[in-house]
């Protein structure tokens, strides 16, 4: 695998000469705080050295559990929200066949995988129960806190289904819980019932947990090679371990984000040209949104899938409010390709492209769009990767995690907490009538009248 290369020539006209270099001392300090573990949120830095500290016994256990799941079900449900599902979903979408869930069980030698527990929609839940009605089902319930409402609601319903279908004992063999080693409702239940469990360490926050069992078990069930993912992350670890950002593309990305933010480009739009990267952007949005959006500051992370969204959001990016910059993920050698046939009538006028491949057309769309957006006042940063593979996934994960830590420190926030997420929960619990929230309930209900 060759490395990720950051290219900012289509952003350089928005930069003054020497502007990036002026950030060098601040980057050095952020780097020091991250590696010495002296900065804000330093009890959540377990992810920094993780690619080099993988527990081989745990990896073996994950692989064996994944094999057991593959053999014993048609449908594998992964219950989790936020950091407890986005990384695994990003990996599986990136690395699997586009229609992997539709391909037959025999052909894929892996169950259909569905990520659930990310909403509180009765319709969704009812439809899910219809989907699994006559299927052999196994479940990985993932929650670091063990108390998050969405996955807890889904798990309660699905657990009931499993116990009815397989009996209490049978259901136990079909549930794997990934949670805290000692705290929380899920840990208590898992211990009480005797579920197979995997641990999320205290010093790794949910959005930084994709290289732990949180991400690795579902990814292994999909058939992807988790050793290669870790290898990719370990290569990134070595590539980005120096504080001097001249050759450190990860730190350059953090610096560019900070410079554009200060220039009023307060929205970063992540763009891809491969549908399989859609969920990588979703994962990235949580990583950066929760890490930086606090104390009334932070870039707003947005994402688009091109060329699809050129027909919906393209107008805004080209011509709307100039508060955007774009980060484009460019894949040099996509996995597959197909040529455009000649057509005798040529009614669609595409014969000038006959014999050319779809990827060739896509590449020209990328180049044309990038230049147009740059001309329209949107700086473009390009993250070049050579291929879509397990290694490049692991590499990208570590690249974005490390850049996020540095970027958060440059911004002057604690990138490893998310206090703001609690506010809606408090209101929801009060309105639901949870014990201890009686006063708030009354106040909120008055406001809703």
Ligand X SMILES: O=P(O)(O)OC[C@H]1O[C@H](O)[C@H](O)[C@@H](O)[C@@H]1O
Whole-number minimum distance, CB 7 to ligand X, in Å? 31
Contact stretch for ligand X (CB under 6 A) within 80-88, 97-105, 158-166, 390-398: 80-88
Cβ closer to ligand X: 152 or 236? Answer: 152
DSSP 306: T
Nearer to ligand X, 207 or 285 (CB): 207
Q: Give just the sign of the alpha carbon dihedral 301, 257, 388, 307.
A: positive
Distance CA 279, CA 282 (A): 5
Is the CB of 274 or the CB of 401 nearer to ligand X?
A: 401
For 61-163, list the strands marked E by DSSP.
75-79, 112-116, 137-143
Say how far apart CA 9 and CA 317 lie, in whole Å: 19
Binding span for ligand X by CB under 6 A among 76-84, 311-319, 346-354, 373-381: 76-84
Active-site position among 290, 292, 326, 401: 290
Contacts with ligand X in 113-152 (CB under 6 A)? 143-145, 148, 151
Among 81, 254, 259, 404, which residue interacts with ligand X (rule: CB under 6 A)?
Answer: 81
The CA distance from 238 to 231, in Å, is 11
From CA 309, how far away is CA 94, in angstroms rounded?
19
What is the nearest approach in angstroms of ligand X to the Cβ of residue 126? Answer: 23
Token pair in block for residue 394: 């692991």
The sheet with strand 300-305 has its strands ordered as 5-7, 380-387, 324-333, 267-272, 300-305
Contact status: 290 vs ligand X (CB under 6 A)? yes
Q: Is 440 a catalytic residue?
A: no
Q: Whole-angstrom Cα distance, residue 50 to residue 54?
A: 6
Stretch of 38-46, 66-74, 75-83, 88-96 contacting ligand X, by CB under 6 A: 75-83
Distance (Å, rounded) from C-alpha 435 to C-alpha 432?
Answer: 9
Question: Which CB sits closer to ligand X, 57 or 423?
Answer: 423
Is residue 228 within 8 A of residue 387, CB to CB? The reply is no
Show contacts with ligand X in window 5-64 (CB under 6 A). Answer: none
The active-site residue out of 9, 425, 426, 443 is 425
Q: Figure out which of the listed residues 206, 215, 377, 379 binds ligand X, where binding follows CB under 6 A.
A: 206
Question: Which region among 77-85, 227-235, 239-247, 433-441 touches ligand X (by CB under 6 A)?
Answer: 77-85
Q: What angle do CA 46, 50, 52 make, to 5 degrees?
A: 145
CA distance 335 to 208: 27
Number of residues that bind ligand X (CB under 6 A): 14
Confirm whether 364 is a catalytic residue.
Answer: no
Q: How does 77-105 read in b/e, with b if 16+ C-beta sit within 10 Å?
A: bbbbbbbbbbbbbbbbbbbbeeebeeeee
Q: What mask, x for binding ligand X by CB under 6 A, covers residues 410 to 429? A: --------x--x--------
Which secondary-structure segment (H or E) carries 261? Answer: helix 249-262
Please identify, using beta-carbon distances, which residue of 235 and 280 lies nearer to ligand X: 280
Task: Say if residues 40 and 416 touch (Cβ distance below 8 Å).
Answer: yes
Give the residue with the Cβ less far from ligand X, 145 or 318. 145
Cβ 172 to ligand X shortest distance, Å: 21
Of the candidates 41, 46, 82, 232, which one interacts with ligand X according to CB under 6 A? 82
> Cβ closer to ligand X: 80 or 377?
80
Catalytic (active-site) positions? 290, 425
Q: Which residues bind ligand X (CB under 6 A)?
A: 81-84, 143-145, 148, 151, 206-207, 290, 418, 421
């Amino acid at each position: 695998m060759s490395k990720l290369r950051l290219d900012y020539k289509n952003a350089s006209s928005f930069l003054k000469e020497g502007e990036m270099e002026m950030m060098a001392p601040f980057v050095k300090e952020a780097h020091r705080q991250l590696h010495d573990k002296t900065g804000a949120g330093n009890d959540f830095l377990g992810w920094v050295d993780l690619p080099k500290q993988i527990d081989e016994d745990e990896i073996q256990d994950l692989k064996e559990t994944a094999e057991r799941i593959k053999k014993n079900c048609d449908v594998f449900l992964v219950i989790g929200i936020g950091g407890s599902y986005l990384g695994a979903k990003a990996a599986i979408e990136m690395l699997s066949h586009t229609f992997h869930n539709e391909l037959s069980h025999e052909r894929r030698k892996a169950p259909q995988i569905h990520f659930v527990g990310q909403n509180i929609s009765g319709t969704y839940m009812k439809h899910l129960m219809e989907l699994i009605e006559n299927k052999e089902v196994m479940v990985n319930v993932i929650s670091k806190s063990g108390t998050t409402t969405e996955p807890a609601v889904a798990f309660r319903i699905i657990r009931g289904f499993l116990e009815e279908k397989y009996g209490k004992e049978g259901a136990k063999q079909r549930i794997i819980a990934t949670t805290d080693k000692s705290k929380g409702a899920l840990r208590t239940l898992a211990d009480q019932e005797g579920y197979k469990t995997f641990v999320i360490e205290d010093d790794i926050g949910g959005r930084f947990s994709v290289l732990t069992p949180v991400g690795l078990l579902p990814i292994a069930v999909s058939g992807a090679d988790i050793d290669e993912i870790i290898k990719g992350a370990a290569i990134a670890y070595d590539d980005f371990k120096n504080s001097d950002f001249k050759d450190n593309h990860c730190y350059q990305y953090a610096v560019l984000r900070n410079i554009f933010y200060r220039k009023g480009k307060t929205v970063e739009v992540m763009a891809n040209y491969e549908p399989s990267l859609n969920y990588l952007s979703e994962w990235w949005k949580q990583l950066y949104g929760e890490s930086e959006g606090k104390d009334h500051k932070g870039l707003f992370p947005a994402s688009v899938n091109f060329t699809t969204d050129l027909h919906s959001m393209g107008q805004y990016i080209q011509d709307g409010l100039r508060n955007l910059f774009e980060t484009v993920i460019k894949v040099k050698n996509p996995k597959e390709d197909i040529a455009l046939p000649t057509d005798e009538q040529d009614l669609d006028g595409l014969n000038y492209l006959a014999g050319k491949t779809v990827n060739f057309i896509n590449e020209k769309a990328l180049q044309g769009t990038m230049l147009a957006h740059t001309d329209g006042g949107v700086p473009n940063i390009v993250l070049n990767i050579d291929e879509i593979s397990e290694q490049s996934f692991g590499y990208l994960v570590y690249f974005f995690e490390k850049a996020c830590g540095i970027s958060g420190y440059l911004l002057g926030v604690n990138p490893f907490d998310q206090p703001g997420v609690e506010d809606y929960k408090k209101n929801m619990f009060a309105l639901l009538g949870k014990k201890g929230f009686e006063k708030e309930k009354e106040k909120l209900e008055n406001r809703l009248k």
